[in-house]
Amino acid sequence: MAIFHILVFPGLLFLMLYGTFFSWLDRKLYARMQHRVGPPWFQPIADMIKLFAKEDIYPAAIDKPMYVLSPLIATAAVLTSMLYIPVWGDKAVFAFEGDLIVVLYLLTLPTLAFFLGGWSSGSPFPAVGSVRVITQLFAYEVPLIVAMMGPAIISGSWSISGISAFYSTHPLLLAVNALGCIVGIITLQGKLERIPFDIPEAETELASGTFAEYSGKLFGFFRITMDIELVVGAALIAAIFMGGAFGLPWWGGILLFFAKTLVVLFILAVIKTALGRVRIEQMVDFCWKYLVPAGIVQLFVSILVKGVIR
């Protein structure tokens, strides 16, 4: 049964299919908000087929082991993280106390893999993109973690499943975490390197930045990682800040999971459409001057609420 969960649902097959759908829907929403038609439903599938059918080209100056391993490590990490997030109920496949910390760690690995992949490419554009990747990591990671701590403190659990189950039985307390939810969604936009935080890629400045030297199957793995990370990030926000299945049967829990993740995707698409790219120092200033204090306020409120309901 564990093999089924890892390879089929909610693991590899499910994440690839839902990630492909998320990629298409994100691009479609982005286009429609700009009064464009957007891609057909099969466009992400066609893009992947094209990438994996292409030859892998290895520039002469690369550090080949790191260059090759980086996209594989990124994909493996983001696939693993989904196994600790509940999908059809209030309990994930491999849930345990403290899995929230593990998931946050696993979602950091793709970012580090992006950095190492770009740095090992032996080209100035990926090198600049890599520096921006790691700079952004130090900016958004702290407010993201602080925002996640609020619901964990109130629920008395450091398990995503435990937090989700607690708010399923105490839905009114979800309102207490509203500020943390806002911080979480904004920092997720930065973690996913989406507009306005697409600074490491910056196509108009760095010719795709971090991934400029990647092609073929290796670039395909990076693309898959980003699509799946979008699903996992939305699922994490939904589980932490929107409660669990609220007592619904398994099929109702799955439908609710889809609804909540689609709401998160819509909000991310609106942010992407409404804002233009910022500079790297503006991104860092925004995270440390505004998101970190907002996260600390949420943490303080959560501690007070925990003291009241204890």
Amino acid (1-letter code) at residue 267: I
Cβ-based neighbours of 266, under 8 Å, separated by 6 or more = 29
Tokens of residue 308, six digits = 């009241």
| Residue of 176, 172, 174, 181 lying closest to 147 (CA atoms) | 181
pLDDT reported for residue 118: 87
Do the Cβ atoms of 273 and 34 come closer than 8 Å?
Answer: yes
Cβ-based neighbours of 32, under 8 Å, separated by 6 or more = 38
Residue 284 has pLDDT above 80, yes or no: yes
Amino acid (1-letter code) at residue 171: P
pLDDT reported for residue 275: 87
Cβ-based neighbours of 231, under 8 Å, separated by 6 or more = 15, 18, 19, 22, 82, 261
pLDDT digits (tens, 9 = 90+) for 95-126: 999 999 999 999 999 999 999 998 898 888 88
pLDDT reported for residue 201: 79
pLDDT reported for residue 198: 86
Q: Is 156 left (phi over 0), alpha (psi -120 to 50) or beta?
A: left
Do the Cβ atoms of 154 and 309 come closer than 8 Å?
Answer: yes
pLDDT digits (tens, 9 = 90+) for 127-166: 888 889 999 998 999 999 999 999 999 999 999 999 999 9
pLDDT digits (tens, 9 = 90+) for 209-236: 788 888 889 999 999 999 999 999 999 9
Residue 15 has pLDDT above 90, yes or no: yes
Least confident stretch, 38-42, 212-216, 293-297: 212-216
Residue 262 has pLDDT above 90, yes or no: yes
- Rounded CA separation 144/181 (Å): 10
Mean pLDDT of 36-58: 90
pLDDT digits (tens, 9 = 90+) for 193-210: 898 998 887 766 666 778
Residue 1 has pLDDT above 80, yes or no: no
Please provide the average confidence, as pLDDT, over all residues in the chain: 91
pLDDT reported for residue 61: 80
pLDDT reported for residue 204: 67
Confidence of residue 29 (pLDDT cuts 50, 70, 90): very high
pLDDT digits (tens, 9 = 90+) for 51-107: 899 888 888 888 888 999 999 999 999 999 999 999 988 889 899 999 999 999 999
Do the Cβ atoms of 219 and 49 come closer than 8 Å?
Answer: no
pLDDT reported for residue 2: 82
Mean pLDDT of 34-56: 90
pLDDT reported for residue 11: 87
Provide the terminal-to-terminal Cα distance of the chain, rounded to the nearest Å. 38
- Rounded CA separation 262/226 (Å): 16
